[in-house]
């Protein structure tokens, strides 16, 4: 008897914190899966653009307040974009990612300090 295995796509679900609304979770999952969030200068009119093929999705339930809440929680940060009238938002590195070596120096120091006993 052959066993059938179900292959599911790999997703990074551990980075989305609990306590978010469904809309906030949806935006973050899209950002993790290759989309970038774009808004106007005031944070309104959000849209998701896939970087691979420039497909555009307009999330109906996302508003200016949704983007503002994600920014205040430190989950997204504005990035430099091509259009001066649009703001591009990127995922902010989480504390967990930073503790795993996000700010590691590029090369060791010449004379490391010796620890005293």
Domains of the chain: 22-93 (1.10.10)
Residue 12 in tokens: 């990074």
Q: Per residue in 8-55, pLDDT tens?
A: 444 454 556 778 999 999 999 999 999 999 999 988 899 999 989 999
* Mean pLDDT of all residues belonging to the chain: 78
Closest by CA position to 16, among listed 80, 68, 76: 76
pTM for the full predicted model: 0.65
Indicate the pLDDT class of residue 7, thresholds 50, 70 and 90. Answer: very low
Q: Is 39 helix (H, G, I), strand (E, B) or coil?
A: strand
Note whether 86 and 103 are within 8 A (CB). no
Q: Give the position of tokens 């307040």.
A: 65
Q: Give the other-Cβ count within 10 Å of 106's Cβ.
A: 4
Q: How many residues does the chain have?
A: 117
């Amino acid at each position: 008897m052959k066993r059938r295995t179900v292959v599911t796509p790999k997703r990074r679900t551990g980075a989305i914190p609990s306590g978010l609304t469904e809309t906030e979770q949806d935006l973050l999952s899209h950002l993790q899966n290759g989309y970038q969030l774009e808004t106007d200068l005031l944070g309104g009119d959000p849209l998701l653009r896939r970087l691979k093929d420039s497909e555009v999705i307009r999330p109906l339930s996302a508003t200016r307040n949704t983007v503002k809440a994600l920014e205040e929680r430190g989950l997204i940060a504005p990035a430099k974009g091509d259009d001066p009238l649009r703001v591009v938002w990127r995922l902010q590195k989480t504390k967990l990612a930073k503790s795993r070596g996000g700010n590691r120096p590029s090369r060791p120091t010449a004379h490391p300090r010796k620890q005293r006993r």
